[in-house]
Amino acid sequence: MAITEEATKELTKGDAVAATVEQPLGILTRPTSTKGWKSWLTTVDHKRIGILYGGAALLFFVLGGLEALAMRIQLATPNGTFLSAETYNQVFTMHGVTMIFLVAMPMAAAFANYLIPLQIGARDVAFPRLNALSFWIFLGGGLFLVSSQFIGGWWSNAPDCGWFCYQPNGGVIFSPSRGVDYYAIGLQITGIASLISAVNLIVTCLNMRTRGMSMFRMPVLTWMLLVTQFLLLFAIPVITVGLFLLMFARLFDAQFFNVAAGAEPLLWQHLFWIFGHPEVYILVLPAFGIVSEVIPTFSRKPIFGYSFMVFSGIAIGFMGWGVWAHHMFASGLGPISVAAFSLSTMFIAVPTGVKILNWLATMWGGKLTFNTPMLFAVAVVSMFTIGGLSGVTHAMAAVDTQQTDTYYIVAHFHYVVFGGIINGLFAGFYFWWPKVFGYKLNEKLGKTNFWLMIIGMNLTFGPMHILGLQGMSRRYYTYSGGYGFELWNMVVSIGAFTIALGVLTFIINIFYSKRKAAELPPVGPDPWDSRSLEWMISSPPPDHNFDEPIDVHGLDEFWHRKYGYDDDGKVIAFATAAEVAQTGDRTDVHLPSPSYWPIVVATGLPIIGYGLIYSLWLCVVGGLFVVTGLFGWAQEPADDPNAVHDDHDEPGDDGDDAQGASALEQSSTEEMSVDG
Amino acid sequence: MAEAALDAHEHPETNTGMSNSKLALWVFLGSECLLFGGLISTYLLYRNETNGGPTASDVFEIPFTSVSSFVLLLSSLTMVLALSALRRGDETRNRIWLLTTAMLGAVFVGGQVYEFTAFLREGLGFTTSPFSSAFYTLTGFHGVHVSVGIVMLMSLVVVSLKGDLSKERAETVELIGLYWHFVDVVWIFIFTVVYLTV
């Protein structure tokens, strides 16, 4: 552990943690640097952690996308030979696991981390070091899962049981490679990350709002992210139980799924889907939140029916727990269960319909600007509706039984996850990019990106409906000619590569726009003339977020500081964004100090994971990392007492918030790491 | 409330009036409910699936487990006494009661270990049947929770011996107490569901 202190550091504008005295803490001195690559390892700033989440998720997105392309090469023509049956099983499993657990969830976490504190006017999240811990645990778990693709042979040890890994199909007898072990342990690790993050962000939303920011003045995005965190809080332990049973069954011969010994194969299905259906809303609600920010801004109207938006999100959060068995209609649950879950599934379409209606009503009569973020947001409204409608068809148990495990299902949930979630996340990228990085993404490339992706997704997932109704099963690694599958499979494969071109355009756009940005004027705090607090500070925001706490008097506070109404009720501008926004150049704010310990603790978990699979000695090594990390963590105050702190009584100096927290941070992480 | 505090040039209070740490612990305990809910459900599903091995009524020894359950519940009382001692500023008594709580917890865990070895001798191994796997997993998870609690209590004792656990930091004791009571309450459920319904 030869991590050494940087002796000197440059003070720059907005550089608020100006630590001057080194304080040795055991073998490691406290990190103070906020510059350079090393500072990213120790940062506790919610904005940087958000960027880390986003960057990691984007890399996993490319990986999951390559897996999708491999499958589409295999299926483009009958009797494909690009992938063997064994490899194909692993590729579709890793595609699903990667896209759901390593892309959609952390990408939502990126937005949550970056935007929640800014939107509620807070200095940081409630527990900055726990926040860093969440990210590093997530990254460790993600890399652990991905490493299964090459440890022990190229694509011979990856999970091959599908993303929901039904039992006893995922047991040692039917899946003898170590893949399912990677699945069970890897998802437990990422689950710990989600759980810690959920606790942290819930406390942040409930406890750290700025003056006047009541719950019902929080932007819809923050609300949706809060509901998501509650869903995570209660859903993650359920999958954790399932994963523990699976792990014990595979590693220690527990009898949970041994049907010969009297075990019940539906147990796993119930545990998985009690987690799995809320998970659908965990994935989609953040995208709904993003759309609810983008559409009002580019319609130049407040969101239609704010309280309906919030309450429909909460309703989805509750009802999401009562529909899980519609994933299991084909398993013979009995007529009463099927009828009950059919009904609840139809009901949950209502709050979702409310949201669609409110977005349309927000756009109705608005001054619409169809730039890239708005295009992606409108794509969510339209494409998600298609996915939602095909979803309601599954509420009819008879139809569902016909469609189970066909490409119709694949088509349905890809309209939800790609049409709803990926489009929503891309809307978010284009919308908040100038806020996060200080430059806008190029519009022309952005629109190319949009059209490639929207045409690509419809070419890819539209024909899957037909293939499914024609009777093509999902997860078959190949098919014979002469069943009428050839044409549509070719179309699907062409569509998949069109999407890939779209994503490539996005990546090119990032670098192209960054280079061009030097020639363009700075974007300023508020490039889109937006409504919520994150636009009221310079772009990118300084480490300390806001120079002064903001007094909030209503919904869309920032917009109301720029605009008012004249005597005739017409909207008039009475201030520019530059006049209203804060400059962010205050340098005397005391902030939570960086820390080495989160990454040390997080490093231990994948090592324990490898230990469980290969040699229990590695568990000892991993355990040492965790224990050392927690010990160091407990010894270290949340705030470096030697950091500059010369304005103790200034309002807005709430850096001490986390101080009493260190003991709890210690205790709760101890529990969590034992649970995991 | 928050405004009033700021006007008085104090540090801003939290929106709920509850400290971040305490709120976080409550939220986390909510999550734990689902964890034990899942494990208890698994046990209920499998309690009669003995696969020809010993059944619950063959092995359980209710009087013994009742005593160790009583010891665990007693530790909730000593936990409360520890907190109230510290709130009065009596650090010595706080230490004594913390130590007592940890020891009572250790007696419970010891009883569990004894019980497990007795069951094992009677032929109820972890891999014997769905019933045995579910039983050991559920009670084992609870035992790990108690053990983590003991570690935290002992850490508090060490911190207190170093003189760093004064009246002002009573909330730390309160939080670990909350966790401890939660684990006890969970045991009431487990004891009822697992042992008393044989």
pLDDT (tens digit, 9 = 90+) per residue, A421-456? 999 999 999 999 999 999 999 999 999 999 999 999
Residues with Cβ within 8 Å of residue A370, at least 6 apart in sequence: A298, A378
Residue A28 has what pLDDT? 57
Q: Residue A354: which of A416, A427, A304 has the closest Cα?
A: A304
Over 50: is that where the pLDDT of B191 sits? yes
Residues of chain A numbered 113-132 and touching chain B (CB < 8 Å): 126-127
Alpha helices in A331-396, H assignment, sequence order? 335-363, 372-393
Residues A459 and A410: their CA atoms lie apart, in Å, by 14
**In degrees, to the nearest 5, what angle opens at C-alpha A664 toward C-alphas A663 and A670?**
100
A541 contact B CB<8A: no
Q: B20–A252: do the CB atoms touch at under 8 Å?
A: no
Nearest Cβ partner for A203 among B6, B27, B38: B27
Indicate the Cα dihedral angle A44, A49, A52, A54, nearest 10°: 180
Q: How many CB pairs under 8 A join A and B?
A: 166
Banded model confidence at residue A659, pLDDT cuts 50, 70, 90:
very low
CATH number of B32-195: 1.20.120.80
Pick the residue from chain B with its C-alpha nearest to A258.
Answer: B130
Banded model confidence at residue B12, pLDDT cuts 50, 70, 90:
low
- The neighbour count for residue A64, using CB atoms within 10 Å, is 21
CA distance B3 to chain A (A): 7
Residue A585 has what pLDDT? 85
Indicate the range of A70-79, A455-464, A503-512, A647-656 predicted with least confidence: A647-656
Residue A24 has what pLDDT? 43
Which residues of chain B does A233 touch, with a Cβ-Cβ cutoff of 8 Å?
Answer: 27, 30-31
> Which whole number is the average pLDDT over A376-401?
93
Distances (CA, A) of A63 to A144, A289, A422: 14, 26, 15
Indicate the Cα dihedral angle A385, A388, A390, A391, nearest 10°: 180
Banded model confidence at residue A589, pLDDT cuts 50, 70, 90:
confident
Which residues of chain B does A242 touch, with a Cβ-Cβ cutoff of 8 Å?
Answer: 38
**In degrees, to the nearest 5, what angle opens at C-alpha A225 toward C-alphas A374 and A558?**
60
Q: What is the DSSP string of A328-349?
A: GGGG---HHHHHHHHHHHHHHH
Over 70: is that where the pLDDT of A617 sits? yes
pLDDT tens digit sequence for A328-382: 999 988 899 999 999 999 999 999 999 999 999 999 999 999 999 999 999 999 9
A271 contact B CB<8A: yes
Banded model confidence at residue B10, pLDDT cuts 50, 70, 90:
very low
- The neighbour count for residue A212, using CB atoms within 10 Å, is 16
Written in H, E and C, the secondary structure of A581-627 is CECCCCCCCCCCCCCCHHHHHHHHHHHHHHHHHCCHHHHHHHHHHHH
DSSP 8-state secondary structure symbol assigned to residue A322: G
Over 70: is that where the pLDDT of B2 sits? no
Residue A593 has what pLDDT? 85
> Which whole number is the average pLDDT over A409-413?
96
B17 contact A CB<8A: no
Q: B31–A195: do the CB atoms touch at under 8 Å?
A: yes
Which residues of chain A does B128 touch, with a Cβ-Cβ cutoff of 8 Å?
Answer: 255
Residue A143 has what pLDDT? 97
Residue B198 has what pLDDT? 77
Residue B63 has what pLDDT? 94
Banded model confidence at residue A1, pLDDT cuts 50, 70, 90:
very low
Report which secondary-structure segment, H or E, holds A285: helix A266-299
DSSP 8-state secondary structure symbol assigned to residue A52: H
**In degrees, to the nearest 5, what angle opens at C-alpha A339 toward C-alphas A386 and A357?**
30
Residues A668 and A59 sit within 8 Å (Cβ to Cβ): no
End-to-end CA distance of chain A, in Å? Answer: 25
Structure tokens at A567: 């005597």
Residues A287 and A282: their CA atoms lie apart, in Å, by 10
Nearest Cβ partner for B32 among A198, A237, A663: A237
Residues with Cβ within 8 Å of residue A231, at least 6 apart in sequence: A278, A279, A281, A282, A285, A317, A320
Banded model confidence at residue A642, pLDDT cuts 50, 70, 90:
low
Over 50: is that where the pLDDT of B8 sits? no
Measured in whole angstroms, the distance separating CA A122 from the mean position of its chain's CA atoms is: 21
> Which whole number is the average pLDDT over A447-476?
96
Over 70: is that where the pLDDT of A404 sits? yes
Residues A27 and B151: their CA atoms lie apart, in Å, by 23
Q: Residue A303: which of A355, A353, A349, A350 has the closest Cα?
A: A355
Q: What are phi and psi of A594, to 5 degrees?
A: -60, 160
Structure tokens at A171: 């047991």
Residue A9 has what pLDDT? 37
Written in H, E and C, the secondary structure of A117-175 is HHHCCCCCCCCHHHHHHHHHHHHHHHHHHHHCCCCCCCCCCCCCCCCCCCCCCCCCCCC
- The neighbour count for residue A361, using CB atoms within 10 Å, is 16
Report which residue type is found at A122.
A
> Which whole number is the average pLDDT over A76-95?
95
Over 70: is that where the pLDDT of A673 sits? no
- The neighbour count for residue A383, using CB atoms within 10 Å, is 24
Residue A59 has what pLDDT? 97
> Which whole number is the average pLDDT over A499-528?
94
Pick the residue from chain A with its C-alpha nearest to B149.
Answer: A671
Which residues of chain B does A666 touch, with a Cβ-Cβ cutoff of 8 Å?
Answer: 155
- The neighbour count for residue A150, using CB atoms within 10 Å, is 12
Interface test with B, best of A194, A202, A207, A270 (most B CBs within 10 A): A207
Indicate the range of A251-260, A653-662, B43-52 predicted with least confidence: A653-662
- Residue bearing tokens 């807005």: A652
> Which whole number is the average pLDDT over B44-73?
94
Residue B155 has what pLDDT? 94
Over 90: is that where the pLDDT of A493 sits? yes
Residue A647 has what pLDDT? 36
Residues A73 and A489: their CA atoms lie apart, in Å, by 10
Residues with Cβ within 8 Å of residue A663, at least 6 apart in sequence: A634, B21, B169, B172, B175
Q: What are phi and psi of A563, to 5 degrees?
A: -125, 155
Over 70: is that where the pLDDT of B6 sits? no
Q: B51–A127: do the CB atoms touch at under 8 Å?
A: no
Which residues of chain A does B139 touch, with a Cβ-Cβ cutoff of 8 Å?
Answer: none
> Which whole number is the average pLDDT over A513-521?
91
- Residue bearing tokens 């349905």: A412
Residue A153 has what pLDDT? 87
Q: B45–A267: do the CB atoms touch at under 8 Å?
A: yes
Indicate the range of A299-303, A449-453, A590-594 predicted with least confidence: A590-594
Residues A380 and A133: their CA atoms lie apart, in Å, by 32
Which residues of chain B does A246 touch, with a Cβ-Cβ cutoff of 8 Å?
Answer: none
Structure tokens at A259: 């049907």
Over 80: is that where the pLDDT of A638 sits? no
> Which whole number is the average pLDDT over B93-116?
96
**In degrees, to the nearest 5, what angle opens at C-alpha A552 toward C-alphas A292 and A303?**
20
The larger pLDDT score, comparing residue B76 to residue A32, is at B76
A266 contact B CB<8A: no
Q: Residue A594: which of A14, A23, A56, A10 has the closest Cα?
A: A23
Which residues of chain A does B30 touch, with a Cβ-Cβ cutoff of 8 Å?
Answer: 233-234
> Which whole number is the average pLDDT over B169-188?
96
Residue A152 has what pLDDT? 86
Over 70: is that where the pLDDT of A6 sits? no
Residue A21 has what pLDDT? 39
Q: A234–B18: do the CB atoms touch at under 8 Å?
A: no
Residues of chain B numbered 137-166 and touching chain A (CB < 8 Å): 137, 144-145, 147-148, 151-152, 155
Residues B147 and B105: their CA atoms lie apart, in Å, by 8
Q: Residue A446: which of A376, A528, A540 has the closest Cα?
A: A376
The larger pLDDT score, comparing residue A575 to residue A310, is at A310
Residues A562 and A124: their CA atoms lie apart, in Å, by 26
Residues of chain B numbered 169-198 and touching chain A (CB < 8 Å): 169, 171-172, 175-176, 179
B77 contact A CB<8A: no
B133 contact A CB<8A: yes
> Which whole number is the average pLDDT over A193-204?
97
Q: B20–A233: do the CB atoms touch at under 8 Å?
A: no
In chain B, the percentage of residues whose pLDDT exceeds 90 is 88
Structure tokens at A404: 């189970």
In chain A, the percentage of residues whose pLDDT exceeds 90 is 78
Nearest Cβ partner for A127 among B9, B24, B147: B24
- The neighbour count for residue B27, using CB atoms within 10 Å, is 20
Residues B121 and B144: their CA atoms lie apart, in Å, by 22
A35 contact B CB<8A: no
> Which whole number is the average pLDDT over A639-652?
46
Residue A669 has what pLDDT? 38
CA distance A543 to chain B (A): 20
Report which residue type is found at B37.
G
Residues A135 and A71 sit within 8 Å (Cβ to Cβ): no
Over 70: is that where the pLDDT of A17 sits? no
B130 contact A CB<8A: yes
- The neighbour count for residue A247, using CB atoms within 10 Å, is 21
Task: Tell me the pLDDT of chain A averaged across its residues.
Answer: 89
Over 90: is that where the pLDDT of B176 sits? yes
Residues of chain B numbered 30-59 and touching chain A (CB < 8 Å): 30-32, 34-35, 37-39, 42, 45-46, 49-51
E-strand stretches of chain B = none
Q: Residue A593: which of A3, A39, A38 has the closest Cα?
A: A39
Residue A640 has what pLDDT? 63
Residue A568 has what pLDDT? 87
Radius of gyration of chain B (CA): 20
- The neighbour count for residue A443, using CB atoms within 10 Å, is 13
Interface test with A, best of B133, B135, B145, B155 (most A CBs within 10 A): B133
Q: A657–B20: do the CB atoms touch at under 8 Å?
A: yes
Residues A328 and A108: their CA atoms lie apart, in Å, by 27
Banded model confidence at residue A29, pLDDT cuts 50, 70, 90:
low
Q: Residue A265: which of A321, A330, A188 has the closest Cα?
A: A330
Q: B42–A267: do the CB atoms touch at under 8 Å?
A: yes
For chain B, what are the domain ranges?
Answer: 32-195
Q: All domains of chain A, ordered by start, with CATH?
A: 52-520 (1.20.210.10), 533-580 (no CATH)
